[in-house]
Each structure stands twice: as C-alpha cells, then as structure tokens.
Structure 1
Amino acid sequence: MCFALVLTLGCSLAVAPAAHAAPGAPPAEAFFENPTFTGALLSPSGKYLAAKIAKKGGRSMLAVIDLATRTAQSVAYFEDTDINHVQWVNDQRLLFDTADLKAAQGEIEYGPGLFAVDRDGSKFRQLALRTGTPFALRADADKLLPWHTFMLDQSGAQDSDSVYVQDYQMSGLGNLHRINLLRLNTVSGRWQTVNAPGDAKGWLLDQAGEPRLAITLAEATVGIHLREGDSWRKLASFNNHQGGAQAMQVVGFGAGNTLYVSSARGGDLTALYRYDSASGKLGEQPIVKLPGYDFHGNLVIRDGKLLGVHYLRDGEGTVWLDPALQALQAEIDQRLPGLVNMIELPTDPQAENVLVRAFSDAQPAVYLVYNRRSKALDRIGETYPTINPALMGGQAQVTYAARDGLPVPAMLTLPRGSQGKKMPMVVLVHGGPYVRGSKWGWEPEVQFLASRGYVVLAPEFRGSTGFGSKHFRAGWKQWGLKMQDDIADAVKWAVAEGYADPQRVCIMGASYGGYATLMGLVNDSQLFQCGVNYVGVTDIQLLYRGHWWYSSDLSDEAKRYSMPDMVGDPVKDAEQFKATSPIEQAHRITRPLLLAYGGEDKRVPLVHGTRFRDAVRKGNQQVEWVEYPEEGHGWHNPKNRIDFWKRVENFLDKHIGAGAKTE
C-alpha cells in the first residue's frame, strides 16, 4: 500500500484559492446523503452478488446480480424502511434486517426485524418481530422471534438453511445482561438456543461455522471459553481494561487446536499469534506484526489454512500468505493503480469471481468483480458517485512530539493546491475518547472541510487506542490536561511546519471531541479563533450521576469499573473534575462558538448543552445554538446532517475562511 505515492499524485494540481470551496466543489448533499451502493457480498459460489442500492431520495433495496448473465433483480424493498445488514445463508438464500436511514434516532419506531428471501425474490419470510406490531401481518406472528434478535456478524457455514443469530437480554438502559445465541432455520423459522458458559456477551464461530468460543464479562473480568463437545472450558481470564498475562483477543480458528489471537505478549503493541488451545501456549513468533500499531484485522482462512490477513495500520491493507493470492493482488493493483484494492474471496476456493473494494483518500469506495479465468474486471457500483476525486484533498499520517516527548500520530489532510501555503485549519478531535480516531481513506466530514479550503488535522492524542498500551494508558485521568495539551501541540506543530495559518485555526469535534473543543477554547484561546462542539460533554460529574429528567445509556458496569480508572473517580477526583469541566469554565470562553445537540441523546443528554449554552452566553454573545429535537448522539437523518454541515461551512467561512475579517 503506497500511501506516499497516492498522496503525491493527489496533490499535483494547480494552486486553488484558499479558504473557500474550490470551483466545482460538490455541495453538502453529495457528502452527507446516504451512500447509493453499499454492502456488496459475493455468494458462497461467487456466482451471484448481493448489494444494497438506493436511488436519490429513495429507500435502499436488496438487489442480486447474476454475474454470468449480468442481470440484476430487486429481491426485497420496503416503503418505510431501508435494507441494512445482509448475509448469504447459502448460495440460494439471503438473511437481512432493516434500519430507517431517513429517520433521526428519536423518530425510530421499530426494531430491525429479521427476514429471509431467496435470491430470485421468492420464499420471503419474516423471522423476528419489529418493535410492537409485526412488520409483516402473519397468522403465526406469535411464533416470531422477539424484536431484540439481531444478526451475528459472522457468515457461518453457508451450507444449509440455518444461521446463528443473537438474542440480546438487557437489564436496563445501557446494561447488557447476556447474549443468547440461537440456531435459526430461515425457511421454517424454527430455532433452538445454544448452551452457554454463563452470561455470554460475545460469540465466535469456528471454520465449520459452529459456535466454539464464548466471551463472558463478570464485573470487570473477561472470560474466554472454548466449547468442547457439550461442555465449555475456560481458556483465559483477565481484567477488561487493565489487561494481564492472559489478555488476548481471539481473531479466528485454524485447523485442529489452533486459534489465532491478538496479544501484546507482555509488550506494548499487540500482534497476531498462533495459540494452541490444548496446551495454552502462545506461539513464539508473530504471524503479522505492524510496527507502531496494535494488530487489528480479520483472517482469510479456507480448509483450515490461513491464506491472508486483512489489517488496519495507517489505513487498510492485506498480507497474503498464499503465493497465488499474492499474484492476484499484484495483478489487480496493476489494473487499478493509485488505489487501495481490498480483495474479498467467496467461500468456495474454486470460485472464479472475487470482489474488489477499491478506494483512496480522494476516491470513495468503488466495488468491482474480477474474474480469475477471463481476467475481466467489471465495475459494479459506487458509494458516492457524484464525488469528483480530482477535487478532494490528499492525506498522510504524520507524527509530532508532545511537550513531554510522547510521539503522537495524526492524520493530515491537505486541500488541493495547498503546497507551500499556510492555510486555514480545522483541528478535528475524535470522540470516545478511548478509540481509534481516523484511518487513511475517503471520509465525508474530512473531505467536505478540505473541499472548502481547510487543512484538516486529526490528532490521535494520548488515550487513543491502536497505538500501544503506553499511548492508551498515558491518557487515563487526563481529560482537559495532557490529552488537551496533545491537541494544542498538534496546532503548534502544524504552524511550525508551514501547513497552518496561526491566525486562522478552529477546533471542532463531537462527544469527547466536543468536550475537547470547549476545553481548547478555555486552555488555549490564543491558538483557536473559534470552536464547533456537537453533542459534547460539558460536565464530567453529570456522566456519573445523570439527571432527573434525562437518562444516559452509559452502563452501570462502565461507571463502576472502567470510568474511575480512565476518566476519574467522581468523589476522589471531584476537584479535578471541577477544574476540567467546561460548565465550570464557561466564563473563560470568549471565542465564537457553534453548539449543536440532539434532544433524544442518551449518551450525552441535552442538559449538557442547554446548561452550558446558558452559562457561556452570560459573557459571550458570539454563540450559535442549534438543536435537533428528534436526534440522538449524532445526526442520523440525512437532512439534519446536511443542515448541520452547511451551518459549519458558514460558521468557519465567517471566522477563519474567506469571509473572515482580517486585522
């Protein structure tokens, strides 16, 4: 994967005017409408391809393409909802659920349901209820599975009419009690429950498509259990966030007693290892090691043999262990230069067709089918067909040093024509905060900003995951402190490197990113000319104690076991919370600010926004407020996404863009 080459090619256009949309830049609708073609999947034989297709303004339908005849047929479509997750049950039958992609979270009235249909559109059957009244009126509706039955994100054996699905048992808002695994016949609708080792909260199928691994979580202790016949044996046990000597994540099953696991093996970074489930021994040498990154990926295994590994480093990539597949990758890469080409194999190792998902930092994902016999490479569909890659920015992951010397990765996106020029910049702070924030590839939010003439810098501040245990743990109890310093140091680095105009920098983010936006305006007002906070935390104590009117979906387990270590203890760290909660520091924010919240948010309830809005407006009249009453923790309805980002465009233009007043 040659990211440097792609970045160079992507930036070799003529200099464009800075600080506003490039001529011909796509409108906000092109970035924030639902994608038109997604979820492409080859059938087990590779002869058919299923995909979700949506016309502009319409619902997504489930279509099947016969790759031999190049004929397509819609096999499932609903007037009031969209096709969501899809799986091939076998070469004849498909399983799917639904999601209303045109409704905000607070407007969603139904669960996803569960349905099956043959690839020619026949033998449609509803298998699980949606919330309340069954979606399909049936005489045997009382025999349907409950609405909280969900698809398992694993395809199974694909050699019968049966699949495994999950029945979520909740003990309260945000509290998952257990996940029951069910074997479900998609033709008859009959099911049976799989024996579990206690209250399982995760399952993994083996290479035969059978449940062989279960994950339990009791208080803060993770248990990994292996199924042997009708009984279960505990393989490992460790603290959920502290880790330990036995800490590992099982990625997949090989032949015999072989498991493939992600483990740090007592070091800082995780890598992919073989694990012998009989002896409990981890392999001495890693199979895949990603210098500077924790291993994250999935395996390509056929007949018990590991053929390749899809992984995430700065972006996605594949290492093929099979020479024939190495040659196949090289052939496709030669046909599609300048793109990352992710190859997905059907279940049948003799299948002629493979699926290719091709993309770059400037090119949204395109799906193609390559025929290994005829060498034909046919484009099947595009996720965002109205996006012109020539108008998108170029990306690269960079590293800068924080003030205490800690190396901090960041994703840098440069607008077209920005070489050698100091540009207005948006620092985009990810939420979580204990997650991976960005990866190389086209992202609508980032490229929308870049298309408007802004450098976009997304720092993976300490506490972010994917860069080793040291980087992750360095962010514990550092909200508003060293985590915030990392963000400020990113701005100083970008200015010193000549990317950013120091007088035109804005900070922006959602959730924790919204929190960091506010604290950036508190701690480093000399660096930031403005801020955009959407659905951001404003009171750390409120995360723990909640509010009499608004409930939060943060689990009791998180509040009790992980948050005290990672965020802080609400009693012992009360003074720190007061010093680092934006609501307590609102009087110090004098820069222009855009605030946006959802009225149905269960993660950061609306009271975070309204209280802070009222407090900051006492001394700052440059505060814009927008509330989407029906939205939750982010914008689910495309019309709200489009409205919000148009507001962001106008706000940035006014304060750091072409419309900003210069002194």
Structure 2
Amino acid sequence: MIKHFLLSLAAVGGLAQAAPSLQQFFEPAHFKDAAISPSGRYVALRVGDNALRDGMVVIDSETQAVVGGTRLAGYDIGAIRWVNDNRLVYNVDDSKLTAGETEFAPGLWAINRDGTDKRQLAEHRIAYVIGSLITRHVEPWNTFLMNERGAQDSEFIYARRPEWKEGSHVVERIDLIKLNTSTGISTTVNRPTAAQGWMLDHRGEPSIMVSLKDGKQTIHYRAPASREWRALSTFTAYGKDDGIEPVGFINDQQMLVKARLKGDKAALHTLDLVSGKVDPEPLVSLSDYDFTGSMVYSDKRLLGIHYLGEARSSIWFDAGMKAAQAEVDKKLPGLVNIITPPAVPEVPWLLVNSYSDRQPHTYLLFNSKTGQLKVVGASHPDINPAEMGNQEMVKVKARDGMQIPVWLTVPAKGGKKLPMVVMVHGGPYVRGTEWGWDSDGQFLASRGYAVLEPEYRGSTGYGLNLFAAGFKQWGLKMQDDIADSVKWAVEKGIADPDRICIMGGSYGGYATLMGLVNDPGLYRCGISYLAVTDIPLLYDGSMSLLSDLPEDYKNYGVPVLVGDLENDAAQLVATSPLKQAARIKRPLLMAHGSEDRRVPFVHFKKMRNALEDAKADAEFVEYVGEQHGWYTLQTRLDFWGRVEKFLDKHIGAGAKAK
C-alpha cells in the first residue's frame, strides 16, 4: 500500500486551516496545466480564478519571472502546446456558459511566448471571432489539437479534423492536417482510407493511422523512407480483446504495442515494423493491471514510459532520468511525481507534476544538475491535505467468486460504522478511477462519509476476465458486484448498514436506479444523474447513448456489450429502470442536462413521468443548457449543494432513525 506523506507547508505554501467549502472543491483549478518549452528554458501555465478568465502565463524556468502570455476578454484559454521555443498554440473556451449554450468551436490560436504575433489558425462555428484577424486565412472550425506534443522544432503542428456524417453527431472520419502556425497555410496528410485515429512517431511525424469498418479495426503504418501506408494488423474491434494497440516507437524498426498475448492482462510488447511480428516476451507487464501508458521522448529518442497501475508511475531507460526520478521522490516522499523532460533540452530543468490521494496537483521545476526543486503553482491551494481522506485499493470477492477491485476512501479522522456513499462510475466499459486526489470523493469524505467505488465487471484496465464478464450484464452481475462490495464494507465494520446511499452518473446513474430496484434493503437512498433509464432507448430515433461515436460501434459493439433488442428483449425489460420504476421505494434525487447528447433528455423525462405516476419519493432537477456533465461552476455548486443536503437528510447527521 502506498504510504501517505504530506508536502511541507513550505513546499506548497499558504495551506488553509479550515475545512474547504463546497466552492473550494468544485471551483476551477487555480493552476490547470503546465507545459515545459522544448529547450526547458520556459514553462507555460494555464491559470485562472473565479473572477478572471483563464489565461496563459509564460515564466522563465530559472528566475520564475513572467516573460509573456495572454488573456482574452470574454473567453478562457484552453489546451496549450509548444510549437517551438518561441511559439505556442492554444484553443479557447467559455466556462461561463453551459455546453448547450456554447455556439462556437474551440478554435485555434498561435502566439509568441512574449505575447506578440498572435494569429488565429482555425475559425469558430459562428460568424464572430476574437479580434480582427478574420481577414487572414483560417482553417475550418473543426480543427483540433492532438494530444501528442509533436516534434516542437519547427513552425508546424499536426491537427485533427473530424468530419461528421451529414445530419448526425457521428464522426465519419478524422483527417490529419499539417499546419504552419506563422503563415496559417495547411496541407492534408494522405491516407489510404477513412481514419478514426492517428499517432505521431518519436520524431513527431504521423506514422500510425487507425481505421474502422464493419466491426473490424485496422492499424496502418507509414514508413519514413517510402512514405507509403501499409496495413500492419486487422482484428475484431468489439468484444474480447485480441488485437494490438499502438503505444509508441523505439526507432524506425521497432514500435511498442499493447497486446494480450499471455494470460489475462495486456502488456507492452515490441513489434518489428519490417516483419509485422510482435515479440511474445513483454517489455512491461503488470501483475494486477492491463498496461496503460505513454512514451516519453527527448531529442527524438525514447527515455522512458509513464504508466498507470494502482497509481501513475514511470519506468526510465535513460540513466539521467532514472537518477532525477530518485532524487525527486526522495525530496517529495509518498507522492506521485510525474516528470516531463523538455523535447530538445538546452537547460537542466524538468517539469514535475506531484500529487497524492490527499494532495491535489502541484507543479514544480527540478534542476537535474543542482537538485533544486521549486514550486510553480498548485491546482487547489486552499485544500489542506491533512484534512483529506485516505484512499486505498481493496479486493472484494463477489458471490460467484470473481475478485472485484474496489476503491475505498475514509474520512481523515477514520472511524467505524460510518455513513457511506457508493459511487458507481460511468462508461461502463472504462476504468473508474485511480489513486489520487478527486474532488467528488474527497468532498464526500470531508463531510464524514466513507466512499466506496467498485470497479465492477465490465470495467477495463484490470484484465480480460473482469472486462468480458460484464458483457450483457447491465442490471445483473454488474449490479451484484456493487451490492457485494457494499456487503463487504458492512461486514468489515466500515459502513453503517442503515446509512448507505448509492449514486452515479451516466451508466452510474443507471446502476443507481437498478440498485434501488434490485436491493432496496441495502440502500437508504439514491442519487442518479445523466442516467440511462431504458436500454432500448439507446437504439431508437431519439439519438443514442453512442450518438457522438461511430455508427459502427452502435451496430457491432452495443449488441455484444449491452444487449440485442430482439434476442435479449425479455432481459432488457427486466433490467430497465423505466419499466421497473414502480419498484423504487427509496428517496431519490435525479438530475439531467437538457442538451445531453450522450444520454438524451428523453431518458430523464420518461423516468420522471414514471416515478411521478408511481408517487415515488423523488426530487428532479433539470439543468438547462448542460450536456453530459456539469460544465459551469454555477451548476456544479447547485448540484453538489443539493447532494450535500440530500445525504445529510437521509444518511447524515440530519437523518432520522430507520
């Protein structure tokens, strides 16, 4: 188990002594992100507060003096990337509007680090733009930054351009463009077929393209010498995982792929780009987790790998980076310390992102020559780690013997027979959480609740057996895993059996409703938001749960993972909260966004009508303009304020005896 140590007050500076308020948990982070320049000489920070729009500040790594940046009137700076040591690109956002009110695309802008030569690179969805650069050539609004850093050694970047199927939210293909950030001139990268994904190699050049057709996924590779695309591998896209997933490159002859060749867990393997064969011996494998990670490059060579196990960590092949990690971990014990080196280093400064289950993210700079470590900024400086709960991973045996990973967070003061909130993650075919500070769970812990987060069957990241066991198990064994986790917490004396509430969003909202249907004696109340309320509604003309994902997924993935309308009709009725609404007898809080595309508002509307007809003890909240999540601070504060009062009334200090 990871031991808990706290950064010294001198390290993080000015920590609050009082328990954080609702707003301190859910307000935007003060420091949202940090990016080190290619040389390491500068760091770009995305900063904000409740009064000002999010801006970008560029500081000198050595002196921490501000040397540039920008802030826009009426808009927030979004994601930031370095193009080269003098130039950056960023998109914009508007945190004051709900997602449904946002009538513009993020757009794309470039600027020199000193704030000069600002250029609009991509237009917004609607006619107006920021500033007067509309007369210059700009790319279409559907031009987005890639997640990868790129080469950072020229004026060019690569950007994604999704193209939607006419009249729908379905992405038909994703083109890749090469864009000059100084002139605005672009070219489209050639492709052999419609693409659904792209990956850059160790030089920052596009070398992998992923296509999807008729339930089959194909990995295409473009060799740097020939510049011609060829298919590396084709496999079934949905169901049991028998394919490969590109992760990164070692050099022009070897690529790194995620594959499940031996046993239950996916590992990192080397693929020979000439023969197309995968080395059966893994380069990196984890005993309890599927490999998930990313490559760390500097000077266009592979230095190491960032990966996710119980927590995030790093493997370094480079001796210098290995030594730097050891020194940083010594100075900041008990914390996750993720180090990012510059792409083309000229100075010894490295960027460090440090956090724990109790401490929010803190950004620091580390000098690998002198050992100096200095704080750049903290995401939530008013959060006192000493007042946060302790999070740990436990294993719970389900009723059929399957081992279920479960995250448990208990209040800082600990205790036995605590009131408990069971938080069910969405997806459902994703990993729910990881070790680290989380505003939702820590807010509940700060109010005295134990928090239980089961990684029920169907969850990814814990091996094929757990994932595949969730096929067509909505409301059935997936639901049993959640209930068995709760019973474990009661048996261990952690939870008071009379004070347990279940809550979740999206699939978690569905599981909350089905929890009240299947196990009314287990839960005192439920909080369901953005919830799927009827599986057949995923298929009908009101759009679908997967409406903003490829049509191919709806046709080939949903029948395998969730259920087939004809063959599984009886099961879908039995596991429909809408059809079983009259069985919900416990107090319920339901919330939904009026513009939700992933789970359309009709799910909420029909469920509300059914519960009102059944005279259920339910409270309903509609957030006008919100989509699949709470976008504005106003909505977050309202929702979590309602949650706090609802929990206090039913399982907290204000609860009446059962």
Instruction: Provide closer, same or farther for how the CA distance between residues 550 and 412 of structure 1 changes in structure 2, counting only shifts above 3 A.
Output: closer
Give the superposition deviation at 1:306.
3.3
2:228 is aligned to 231
Matched, 1:637 2:632: yes
Q: What letter is aligned with 2:129?
A: F
2:312 is aligned to 316
Give the superposition deviation at 1:379.
0.4
Q: 1:80 aligns with which of 64, 74, 78?
A: 74
Q: What letter is aligned with 1:96?
A: Y
Range with greater deviation from structure 2 (540-549 or 111-120): 540-549
Secondary structure, aligned partner of 2:114? coil
Matched, 1:30 2:24: yes
1:473-526 CA distances to partner (integer Å, 9 max, x unpaired)? Answer: 100000000000000000001111111000100000000000000000000000
Contact 2:581 2:610 in 1 (8 A): yes
Matched, 1:169 2:163: yes
Contact 1:311 1:318 in 2 (8 A): yes
Instruction: Provide closer, same or farther for how the CA distance between residues 459 and 551 of structure 1 changes in structure 2, counting only shifts above 3 A.
Output: closer
1:188 is aligned to 183
2:434 is aligned to 439
For 1:224 and 1:266, the matched residues in 2 are separated by 21
Q: TM-score, normalised by structure 1?
A: 0.94
2:407 is aligned to 411
Q: 2:259 aligns with which of 263, 272, 292?
A: 263
For 1:458 and 1:439, the matched residues in 2 are separated by 10
Matched, 1:111 2:105: yes
Contact 2:171 2:548 in 1 (8 A): no
Q: What letter is aligned with 1:155?
A: R
Secondary structure, aligned partner of 1:282? coil
For 1:262 and 1:388, the matched residues in 2 are separated by 38
Give the superposition deviation at 1:540.
0.7
For 2:544 and 2:163, the matched residues in 1 are separated by 25
Q: How many residues align?
A: 646
1:566 is aligned to 561
For 1:133 and 1:285, the matched residues in 2 are separated by 55
Matched, 1:154 2:154: no
Secondary structure, aligned partner of 2:40? coil
Secondary structure, aligned partner of 1:143? coil
Contact 1:535 1:604 in 2 (8 A): yes
Contact 1:311 1:317 in 2 (8 A): yes
Matched, 1:278 2:274: yes
Give the superposition deviation at 1:241.
1.5
2:199 is aligned to 204
For 1:180 and 1:315, the matched residues in 2 are separated by 34
Secondary structure, aligned partner of 2:196? strand
Secondary structure, aligned partner of 1:545? coil
Q: What letter is aligned with 1:164?
A: Y
Matched, 1:214 2:212: no
Secondary structure, aligned partner of 2:202? coil
Instruction: Provide closer, same or farther for how the CA distance between residues 41 and 68 of structure 1 changes in structure 2, counting only shifts above 3 A.
Output: same
Q: 2:465 aligns with which of 470, 495, 513?
A: 470
For 1:553 and 1:86, the matched residues in 2 are separated by 25
Q: What is the 5 A alignment of 1:539-618?
A: 539-547=534-542, 552-553=547-548, 555-618=550-613
Give the superposition deviation at 1:43.
0.3
Contact 2:202 2:301 in 1 (8 A): no
Q: What letter is aligned with 1:231?
A: E
2:13 is aligned to none
Secondary structure, aligned partner of 1:281? coil
- Aligned-residue Cα RMSD (Å) equals 1.9
For 1:553 and 1:181, the matched residues in 2 are separated by 19
Contact 1:590 1:619 in 2 (8 A): no
Give the superposition deviation at 1:267.
3.0
1:123 is aligned to 117
For 2:543 and 2:255, the matched residues in 1 are separated by 48
Secondary structure, aligned partner of 1:581? coil
Gaps of 5+ in 2: 7-15
Secondary structure, aligned partner of 2:605? helix
1:237-283 CA distances to partner (integer Å, 9 max, x unpaired)? Answer: 011113565x1111111123100111111532111111101011212
Secondary structure, aligned partner of 1:630? coil
Secondary structure, aligned partner of 2:117? coil
Q: 1:362 aligns with which of 358, 365, 372?
A: 358
Contact 2:83 2:152 in 1 (8 A): yes
1:442-496 CA distances to partner (integer Å, 9 max, x unpaired)? Answer: 0000000000000000000000000111111100000000000000000001111
Contact 1:552 1:605 in 2 (8 A): no
Secondary structure, aligned partner of 2:445? helix
Give the superposition deviation at 1:621.
4.4
Contact 1:422 1:499 in 2 (8 A): yes
Secondary structure, aligned partner of 2:573? helix
Give the superposition deviation at 1:302.
3.7
Instruction: Provide closer, same or farther for how the CA distance between residues 58 and 169 of structure 1 changes in structure 2, counting only shifts above 3 A.
Output: same
For 2:241 and 2:100, the matched residues in 1 are separated by 40
Contact 1:427 1:491 in 2 (8 A): yes
Contact 1:297 1:310 in 2 (8 A): yes
Instruction: Provide closer, same or farther for how the CA distance between residues 278 and 549 of structure 1 changes in structure 2, counting only shifts above 3 A.
Output: closer
Matched, 1:461 2:456: yes
Give the superposition deviation at 1:179.
1.2
Q: What letter is aligned with 1:598?
A: G
Secondary structure, aligned partner of 2:149? coil
1:375 is aligned to 371
Matched, 1:423 2:421: no
Give the superposition deviation at 1:138.
4.4
Secondary structure, aligned partner of 2:105? coil
1:656 is aligned to 651
Range with greater deviation from structure 2 (177-186 or 23-32): 23-32
1:581-608 CA distances to partner (integer Å, 9 max, x unpaired)? Answer: 0011111111000010111111111121
Q: TM-score, normalised by structure 2?
A: 0.95
For 1:77 and 1:86, the matched residues in 2 are separated by 13
For 1:416 and 1:87, the matched residues in 2 are separated by 38
Q: What letter is aligned with 2:496?
A: D
Instruction: Provide closer, same or farther for how the CA distance between residues 655 and 139 of structure 1 changes in structure 2, counting only shifts above 3 A.
Output: closer
Give the superposition deviation at 1:223.
0.8
For 2:89 and 2:651, the matched residues in 1 are separated by 49
Contact 2:38 2:345 in 1 (8 A): no
Gaps of 5+ in 1: 11-21
Secondary structure, aligned partner of 1:617? helix
Give the superposition deviation at 1:186.
0.5
Secondary structure, aligned partner of 2:91? strand
